[in-house]
Structure 1
Amino acid sequence: MKIQGGGLAAWSIKHPIGVSMIAMTVIVLGLAVLSRLAIDLLPQIIYPDIRIRILDEGVPATVMEDQVTRFVEEQLAITEDALNVQSSTDLGIVEIDITFDYGKDIDVALRDASTRLDRAKTQLPDSIQPPEIFKRDPSQIPVIEFVVSSDLMSLVDLRTWTDDILSKWFINLPGVAAAEIGGGVEREIQIIPDQQRLAAMGLSYRNIVETIQSANDDIAIGRLQMPGSEITGRIGGRLNSVEAIRQLPIGRTDNNIIKLHEVAKVVDSSEDERLRIRANGISGIKLAIQKQPNANTNNVVEVVNRQLDWLEEQNVIPPGINVTAVTDQSVYIKQSLKNAATAAISGAILAMLVVYLFLGNLRRTLIIGSAIPIAIMFTFVLMGLGGLTLNIMTLGGLALGVGMLVDNTIVMLENIYRHQCKHEKPLEAGTHAAAEVNGPIIASTSTNLAAILPFLFIGGLTGLLFSELIFTISAAIFASMVIALTLVPAYAAKVTQISNNPIRKMMDGLIGFLQLGYGKVIRFFLKIKLLIIALFIGGFALSLPIFTSGNQILLPNIDDGRIEVRMVSDSGISVDEMDSYVQRIEQIMDAKPETETIFTLVGGSVFGRSQREEPSRAEMTIELVPADQRDISSQEWIKDIRKQIDELQIAGLRVFLFQRGIRGLRTHSGDEDISLRLQGEDFAVMKTVADEIADKMRQIPLLTNVEHSAEEERFEISIKLNRDRAQELGLDMQDLAEAAQTALQGRVISDFLEGNRSYDIRLRLPQEEMNNPQALRSIILFPSSDGSSPLYLGDVAEIELLDTPSRIRRENQMRIVELSAALADGATLGEALIQLDQMRQEIELPTGYTIYDGGQREALEQQQYQNLILLGLALFLVLVVMAIQYESLLNPIIILLSVPFAAIGVAMGIYWIDLPLSMPIWLGTIMLIGIVVNNAILLVNYIELERRHNNNLTEAVIEAVRLRLRPILMTTLSTVMGMLPLAIGFGEGSEMLQPLAIAVVWGLSFSMMVSLLLVPLVYHMFHSIKDRNKFDNQTALT
């Protein structure tokens, strides 16, 4: 008998050795690509944001706003394609963020913004540090951070050693971009004049400044031409010792030279310790290692740790110095990837167990078992070609794909086995079976791809975060189709033994019993099909509120065991007093058994080599032990700690605790879940209104950590010059500014070279003399002359203390007050926004003042809109694929009608497990569109085949669904079991994809009932109408 059909499967059956060699090639290539794939926690995410940071030590926020923020904003606002410009101005620091659309080339935007910044620099004060401009790239977050501490070294020496020696051993390591130092204190030479003695000798601060600057310089004097040679020359005047500074002559009186040490103390000291760093209660220096953008995080950390071990072995790190890791991204990455890989392997094993139970034959089961790793290797090859990395998204995609991998292979294998049971010859059985299922396999694969491919073309964070997941799943689905059409028939045709073992007999008996009962059920349901269809429609209607409720979030909460704490006290507090508060809180946290490390910053914050000094602020980062080593979640830990902190009753101290989730993953431009922006003309009015709104927000139980940007005020010394008096004396504002700076924090007037390092020379008054604002009145501006008294600052200026904003927020060049809050434990974003909207309706704003949303609301609304677009597009593309396959619309519509009812299963899962709606759930629901139709396609295809042999529609439907019961049960259960480990969600990193897997598992489980019950009824109903109309038309013609 001549065998026709079978296509690629028929060729594979005839060429098993060729197929095997191709499979081996795929394995080798897959392993080669796998060894070269970069490893990271998340796909590479480049946010469309640029940040500019400008520092000017000690300058109040109001002055920074007038002298820096306004000028820079004006230029940056006209950056091409800029959507939004926001700024935050604090004591001595301005941070400006420019936001672009996600489609913008961020490198082009950075160049354009840099050009605008260069133009603004010409209008900025000379005292500012060079502005920093950078992309807000998660790769810039340190991959590992250390605190260097010692009982044998002072903080000055420890800072110098860490900067000069330790950090240099890391900066040239493979993959390392920078080794940044923060905290500690640096050496400086302080000149502390005796005001009265200086004035009595007719000298002023300016004499000291001019003497130091003129004496501490190298001046080139040109070249000396000689026969056959040329020599350059200079006057070497650099000061090379502290004693040389002390002996500098600064004036003369009665023929006596006045040396600097006669009118001032010259002290080899250090800068004030205004920022304190600790690791587990031990003071030290922060060393942060940043990786290069495309470097492998795990590899970089491993190289750094190896280098650290080597330095200790070689005594480069001397005894008595401890280098303690306080954050290490690789730990969470390794554990997350391990858990994702475990889920994939566990899923594959469970899927194979299902196959073995149904087939009862180990050799046939091993065919499926071999198909899974080959498909995964094929997927790795495609990942390499696509430039993907190995992360929780791609591994999660493989874990999800494992369940879907076996679908096509089972269909082919089971059909070949069914023909073999008819005692057909091996080649005939394989070819006939392949010819029957080639079309459905290609159709089901095409619908799977059609349902999820639209995700690859969406923008925003969703596209950045999930595109690699979708690519991986798509690659796995494509690989499963190729293997189902090649490897499976090639091997299955060689296994001709008909299973007759106890397991097979038991399953045959069970399936036979189910088929008998199922046939009777379908026969009965066909008589009441309208009622059954109505019941399904009712179930769908009841499930809709689950998808439209306020129980929604953007992304699942990730418990990576990292807690951030921010503490703010009353303005004017000293670093010492703030530190005493922080130490009491440290003790509480250290006593918790779940606490692994505590990293503390008191008096400000550190970013790179820059730092912000704010005595009334402190930050802590707590790393908890891994999730499998503790009995409580991070949120439960926070709840317990917050209660204990409240019991301390520290007056004026506000403590905010956050469980941020994955470092570098931001769903919006701000830091908090909830953000409201208040805009108006008068800042004082805005503060009053913001206080009222904040009080109302604190009454919403779903919110915590409520605060607003104008809440904290700072005392500011205001010196007002008597201009007429100053004019008479020849004084100007610069004279007053220099005198005041000298009195308060001192002025850096030159530098001091020793070896390869440069140290500041600072002129300052004794701190004990400047202990209150009115002490500034006693600053001597000019010395006495002709027996007259010296001129004091109080003679030409008024000094007063003012309340000024501690932080000034601006958006699009206008002042705003930002109100922010975090979600309480168990609260969802959607529910919180509903209550927030109700609160806003009760607020009566003054005329001219507006309030609008920031935070995650816009991102949530955009996600909801994208979900609807994706849902509609997926349904349309699946319909198109099936219409092409069937060259008809009736059967595709019948199959597509089964899709919405899978949502009943998803809704049941969400309700039962009490999950909030999130992007992964929507992704899983949309993925179901392609998966659910697989069984329906096979079922309708077999009904069509049966109708060719049986003109009775009812009998054809019953016989087809009875025969397809086994493969439908087999494919559905194997897919569900393959995804089950991911749905259960063991260990770190599982929270991101667990909701997706839950949606698929519950939806697919329910869709099995839809395929087995609803699809036959809908098919029967539509085709009964079609046959009746066809008969009526024929009757009318005759």
Structure 2
Amino acid sequence: MASVISIVIFLLGAFAITLLPIARYPQITPPAVTISANFPGASAEDAAQAVAAPIEQQLASLQGMLYYASTSSSDGTTTITVTFDVSRNQDLAAVDVQNAVKLAEPQLPAAVRTNGVTIIKANTDILGAVALKSTDPRYDALYLANYMKLYVVDELKRVPGMGDATPFPLRDFSMLLRLDPSKMAQLGVTVGDVSAAVQEQNATNPAGRLGREPSPPGTQFTLPITTLGRLQTVDQFKDIIVRATPAGGLVRVRDIGDVVLGALSYDLEGRLNGGQAAMALMSTRPGANALAVKQGVVARMTELAKSFPKGVTWAIPFDTTPFVTASIKEVLLTLFEAMLLVTAVVFLFLQSWRATLIPMLAVPVSVTGTFLGLYVLGMSINVLTLFGLVLAIGIVVDDAIVVIENVERIMATEGLPARLAADKAIRQVASALVAIVLVLCAVFVPVAFIGGVKGELFKQFAVTIVISVVLSGIVALTLTPALCGLLLKEAVEVNTTGFFGWFNRLFDRGRGRYVRAVGGVLRRPVTFSAAFVAVVVLAGLFWLRTPTAFIPIEDKGYMALSVQLPDAASLQRTRAVVGRVEEVLHGEPAVRNMVELIGLDILSGRASANNTATIFVNVKPWDERGPHDALDSIAARVNAKLGAMREANAFSFNLPEVPGLGATAGVEINLQNRSGMDVREFAQRVQEFRQATAQLPASAGLNSAFRASVPQVYVTVNRESAKARGVSLSDLFGTMQAFLSDLYINDFNLFGKTYRVQAEAQQQFRQQPSDIGRLYVRGTGGAMIPLSALTTLSYRSAPTILSRFNGFTSAQFTGAPKAGRSTGELLDEVEGLVQTQFANAGIGVSYSGQSYQERVSSGDAALVFALGLILVFLVLAAQYESWSVPFAVLLGVPFGVLGALLGIWIRGEPNDVYFQVGMIAVVGLAAKNAILIVEFANELRGHGMPLREAALEAARERLRPILMTSFAFILGVLPLMLASGAGAASRHSIGTGVFAGMLFATSVGIFFIPLFFQIIRGAVDRRRAGHVAPSTGDA
């Protein structure tokens, strides 16, 4: 029966493996909703005040919202991203945001309402980018961008698991009416005239049907009536009649300008390795299998490529899945190495392949069965669940080792046959096994009470450990005794020769010294109690002083670069600087591909500006790079070369470890203007803050794209003169918007899609500030009045991109700590700086991305440990039916905690999520060692053995299983601590803590456990005897 149960668990688990999704992380990215609006011709300040502010006022009370951030640009675009708690359903969140925007719509400008406000569910889990390139000059950037959107993007969106595929650059076709203001003034035509003419003549005009019912008798046909509706060709738009002249002539669009089929916007440009390209930036749906989505993309693009025009090719130049594949592969290799090391340790102690086979059979049943539990609970195969399995390998053999070690001891000392010895052994250790399983499960229960991203990370690990531990307990109570009776020999022979003989003699000598040392500890309770207090104090001090972080920064095989030119630099200048950056990157042999997004700044919330660019860089795989080509080394060399550039500020940065959790893997700090000071005064404070942060001990440099000194032309309208001359102010401002920006009139159809018809001035009329005065508006009596007669020009400074965070004007700073320092230290220093130097001026600080998660969850680990210890205490109290004896077990935990903290201190690692996850396991495993001694000593004491002798005998008899199980676990996690390649930083973090913690708990803590039992059980016995024992000094 036991064998059947184990086989069923194994088979179901193996089948579940084929069904589980694979990803680096589970779905832990906080859901986000993006609001986009356009206010044509508006400045960044105008867009922030007129668009962002009214919408933000309605967002503050949304359920589950963490924070919202908006970016308004000088091209009139406003983007607001609302980020929600990870537990919030994204669909419901989008509905809430949509309702909030509806409430704000009456306050928005008419032009914004006309263009429409877009609300989409943000898919921030970046998968990569598909690119189209052409070797045929006929297929230029405009053609490629529209081909991508028409024939590729929708196909990519249909790939199972695809969240979104966003075309870049967005160069939708547009019918551009490029007007000549001089000719319009000569002919007495205004922008309003052109707009009205296009709306009238470029319209769908239904004309009805002939012969429709009711009709006269004998009607033979019903004929629909059609006429020219929406125009489609350039010539048709050129022939639009704008007005009739007094002499009877007609003024057409061709008489006052030109018409071209162009792009909706030319503010963005996409390039691949220096050549023009059209991109589709892909992101996966929440919970999707990234590897399967990537395979689907390749299959779909391979099929689509068969119909591409000759000379058009495709590629995936930026891809995040190799890191997922490589990191999971490395963890699986670690899993295999851990199994080999655990097997070696077990064989070393048991010295029989038969005996070794028994506990090792528990591993595949427990580990494979864990996948069944993950499938039932809707989880995935990710690095966290695999980390849990690596630790579980060293844990799941423990229960079986305890059983088999006891069986062999009984066979050797009492001469019982294997079957009877197995039956007796399981009766002796069953309660201890149950206690160990319950303790290891109980220590993870508080994880369920942690919310946010950190809680989700903890839960993945905790659920994996709990499932595997429960299965290992079931196997130890059922399959292991049966295998002992079946496989063990009737007589147990102790090796006295060869390597095993030498090991046994060494172990016996070591055990003798250990027992004598424990005896010395038991004779000096005060001295060693004081030493224990010192251990507790040291553990507390190390916990408080160890730098904190959120998630280790990995070599993911890709990075990003930000390029910032001086204020007001043109797109042409930006393109030239990007070319120089490309030359620097080409000089790095490890660089494979560069995806250049000119005009886009992802560090400013994906705002568009002519003087910015973002470059995504993929490097060669880890096994093709030497030690000098680690991503940090490449970035350092690139930054050193870029630092010499005078034309721009360019630097590399790591993308966030959790996709979608902010813009960078470092810190994200939002300096807020909470006093309402003028934006230019705030800019001075931002500059002071930038200079102050450069002096912080933990800062490697913080960067911000906030600028308020961008040169701008300020137009002052003489409103009295305008009204006196019969000029409508709306016409005046509309003329400037149309000629200096663009005017959306209506739509036309092409290739089965709908595109915009826009009016704008020809290039030569929008180059210099003086060109503004050459624009004309109609006044009283139809007179055409130049704007130079109604306006005066001046120069001023203002921001081209204006950010707001939680309703306040803000400047976002991103950066990283110095080598050897943590993000937690840097955030603490920044917070102290703001409090001491800037708070009185009305400046505050808030956090976003990974920094937000790090700050809000900073106290969760201590709470988890405290609750875990309380639950362990309650479980042990129920097990021993005593409120006192459990303390003898729990007092062994500080040794594991101190050891783990010493380990990361020596190695220079911070106290991050992975370390804290490992610490929870150390707490349970340290308690397990204590249980083995306390359980046996308590039993001996119950049979009447004197207290000190019971503690010594328990230490002697339980040393072998403690060392066997502990070193099986310690060596099982050794591959984590020594890892290299993809995902090595995370493995170092979790491996170092559990290795050092269990090593210290095993090598030091086991000397104190008998003392704790003697003190506590002695106090219990004296209380039961009805008297208080005199104080005991050192013997």
What is the TM-score normalised by the length of structure 1? Answer: 0.91
Contact 1:784 1:791 in 2 (8 A): no
Partner of 1:242: 234
Give the drift of 1:1032.
7.9
What amino acid maps onto 2:28 in structure 1? I
**Distance (Å, rounded) in 2 between the aligned partners of 1:777 and 1:762:** 22
Contact 1:902 1:1010 in 2 (8 A): no
Contact 1:202 1:784 in 2 (8 A): no
Give the drift of 1:619.
0.9
What amino acid maps onto 1:124 in structure 2? L
The answer to whether structure 1 residue 985 and structure 2 residue 982 are counterparts is: no
Partner of 1:10: none
**Distance (Å, rounded) in 1 between the aligned partners of 2:930 and 2:85:** 41
- Trace 1:538-617 onto structure 2 (pairs within 5 A): 538-549=534-545, 551-604=547-600, 613-617=608-612
Contact 1:361 1:504 in 2 (8 A): no
> Which whole-Å deviations, capped at 9, do the CAs of 1:156-208 have from their partners, x for residues lacking one?
22222222223344333333344332216444443334444444344444443
Partner of 1:643: 640
- Trace 1:735-884 onto structure 2 (pairs within 5 A): 735-782=731-778, 790-818=784-812, 821-836=815-830, 839-840=833-834, 843=837, 849-854=842-847, 859-884=853-878
**Distance (Å, rounded) in 1 between the aligned partners of 2:77 and 2:182:** 36
Partner of 2:650: 655
**Distance (Å, rounded) in 2 between the aligned partners of 1:205 and 1:895:** 85
Contact 2:698 2:821 in 1 (8 A): yes
Partner of 1:4: none
Partner of 2:520: 524
**Distance (Å, rounded) in 2 between the aligned partners of 1:850 and 1:723:** 37
- Trace 1:711-730 onto structure 2 (pairs within 5 A): 711-730=707-726
**Distance (Å, rounded) in 2 between the aligned partners of 1:266 and 1:520:** 99
Contact 2:666 2:816 in 1 (8 A): no
> Which whole-Å deviations, capped at 9, do the CAs of 1:25-52 have from their partners, x for residues lacking one?
1122112211111111111125265432
**Distance (Å, rounded) in 1 between the aligned partners of 2:300 and 2:852:** 46
**More displaced 10-residue stretch of structure 1: 509-518 or 110-119:** 509-518
**1:556 aligned counterpart, secondary structure:** coil
- 1:390 corresponds, among 365, 373, 381, to 381
The answer to whether structure 1 residue 150 and structure 2 residue 140 are counterparts is: no
**Alpha carbons of 1:667 and 1:413: their partners in 2 closer, same or farther (altered >3 Å)?**
farther
**Alpha carbons of 1:229 and 1:41: their partners in 2 closer, same or farther (altered >3 Å)?**
farther
Contact 1:347 1:977 in 2 (8 A): yes
Contact 1:980 1:997 in 2 (8 A): yes
The answer to whether structure 1 residue 115 and structure 2 residue 99 are counterparts is: yes
What amino acid maps onto 2:983 in structure 1? G
**Distance (Å, rounded) in 2 between the aligned partners of 1:606 and 1:34:** 37
**Alpha carbons of 1:714 and 1:174: their partners in 2 closer, same or farther (altered >3 Å)?**
same
Contact 2:272 2:593 in 1 (8 A): yes
- 2:333 corresponds, among 315, 321, 342, to 342
Contact 1:291 1:297 in 2 (8 A): yes
Give aligned-pair identity as a percent: 23
**More displaced 10-residue stretch of structure 1: 1027-1036 or 917-926:** 1027-1036
Partner of 1:5: none
**Alpha carbons of 1:606 and 1:889: their partners in 2 closer, same or farther (altered >3 Å)?**
closer
**Distance (Å, rounded) in 1 between the aligned partners of 2:235 and 2:457:** 61
> Which whole-Å deviations, capped at 9, do the CAs of 1:445-503 have from their partners, x for residues lacking one?
11111111111221122112221111011101111101111111111111232356645
Partner of 1:677: 672
**More displaced 10-residue stretch of structure 1: 402-411 or 285-294:** 285-294
Partner of 1:180: 166
Contact 2:123 2:283 in 1 (8 A): no
Give the drift of 1:970.
0.6
**2:227 aligned counterpart, secondary structure:** strand
**Distance (Å, rounded) in 2 between the aligned partners of 1:714 and 1:646:** 22
Partner of 2:896: 902
> Which whole-Å deviations, capped at 9, do the CAs of 1:946-1003 have from their partners, x for residues lacking one?
4466634333333332222211111111111122222323322243343223212111
What amino acid maps onto 1:1002 in structure 2? A
Give the drift of 1:374.
0.8
The answer to whether structure 1 residue 171 and structure 2 residue 157 are counterparts is: yes
**Alpha carbons of 1:721 and 1:668: their partners in 2 closer, same or farther (altered >3 Å)?**
closer
Partner of 2:109: 125
- 2:355 corresponds, among 343, 361, 364, to 364
Contact 1:47 1:136 in 2 (8 A): no
Partner of 2:279: 286
**Distance (Å, rounded) in 1 between the aligned partners of 2:652 and 2:576:** 19
**1:843 aligned counterpart, secondary structure:** helix
Partner of 2:445: 453
**Distance (Å, rounded) in 1 between the aligned partners of 2:877 and 2:663:** 40
**Alpha carbons of 1:256 and 1:890: their partners in 2 closer, same or farther (altered >3 Å)?**
closer
**Alpha carbons of 1:57 and 1:634: their partners in 2 closer, same or farther (altered >3 Å)?**
farther
> Which whole-Å deviations, capped at 9, do the CAs of 1:421-444 have from their partners, x for residues lacking one?
242023210111111110101101
Partner of 1:355: 346
Contact 2:163 2:283 in 1 (8 A): yes
The answer to whether structure 1 residue 934 and structure 2 residue 931 are counterparts is: no
- 1:686 corresponds, among 651, 676, 682, to 682
> Which whole-Å deviations, capped at 9, do the CAs of 1:491-535 have from their partners, x for residues lacking one?
111123235664543433332222233333333343334333433
**Alpha carbons of 1:972 and 1:571: their partners in 2 closer, same or farther (altered >3 Å)?**
same
**Alpha carbons of 1:1035 and 1:61: their partners in 2 closer, same or farther (altered >3 Å)?**
closer
The answer to whether structure 1 residue 377 and structure 2 residue 372 are counterparts is: no
> Which whole-Å deviations, capped at 9, do the CAs of 1:38-72 have from their partners, x for residues lacking one?
11111112526543232334421111123212221
Contact 1:674 1:823 in 2 (8 A): no
**Alpha carbons of 1:1031 and 1:798: their partners in 2 closer, same or farther (altered >3 Å)?**
closer
What amino acid maps onto 1:716 in structure 2? Q
Partner of 1:417: 408
**Alpha carbons of 1:1034 and 1:645: their partners in 2 closer, same or farther (altered >3 Å)?**
closer
**Distance (Å, rounded) in 1 between the aligned partners of 2:885 and 2:663:** 44
* Stretches of structure 2 lacking an aligned partner (at least 5 in a row): 1031-1035
The answer to whether structure 1 residue 892 and structure 2 residue 880 are counterparts is: no
> Which whole-Å deviations, capped at 9, do the CAs of 1:8-34 have from their partners, x for residues lacking one?
xxxxxxxxxx22222221122112211
Partner of 2:661: 666
Contact 2:591 2:618 in 1 (8 A): yes
The answer to whether structure 1 residue 472 and structure 2 residue 464 are counterparts is: yes
Partner of 1:437: 429
Give the drift of 1:550.
5.5
- 2:730 corresponds, among 730, 734, 756, to 734
Give the drift of 1:873.
0.9
Partner of 1:317: 308
What amino acid maps onto 1:115 in structure 2? N
**Alpha carbons of 1:611 and 1:730: their partners in 2 closer, same or farther (altered >3 Å)?**
farther
**Distance (Å, rounded) in 2 between the aligned partners of 1:270 and 1:287:** 17
> Which whole-Å deviations, capped at 9, do the CAs of 1:862-918 have from their partners, x for residues lacking one?
434222221211111111111111112332111211111222211321222121112
* Stretches of structure 1 lacking an aligned partner (at least 5 in a row): 1-17
**1:521 aligned counterpart, secondary structure:** helix
The answer to whether structure 1 residue 697 and structure 2 residue 693 are counterparts is: yes
Partner of 1:914: 908
**Alpha carbons of 1:705 and 1:697: their partners in 2 closer, same or farther (altered >3 Å)?**
same
**Distance (Å, rounded) in 2 between the aligned partners of 1:562 and 1:624:** 6
What amino acid maps onto 2:448 in structure 1? L
**1:517 aligned counterpart, secondary structure:** helix
**1:961 aligned counterpart, secondary structure:** helix
**Distance (Å, rounded) in 1 between the aligned partners of 2:500 and 2:876:** 35
Partner of 1:307: 300
**Alpha carbons of 1:539 and 1:613: their partners in 2 closer, same or farther (altered >3 Å)?**
closer
**2:676 aligned counterpart, secondary structure:** coil
**Distance (Å, rounded) in 2 between the aligned partners of 1:51 and 1:307:** 28
**More displaced 10-residue stretch of structure 1: 431-440 or 885-894:** 885-894
Partner of 1:34: 17
- Trace 1:1006-1025 onto structure 2 (pairs within 5 A): 1006-1024=1000-1018
Contact 1:83 1:99 in 2 (8 A): yes
> What RMSD, in angstroms, separates the aligned Cα atoms of the two structures?
3.1
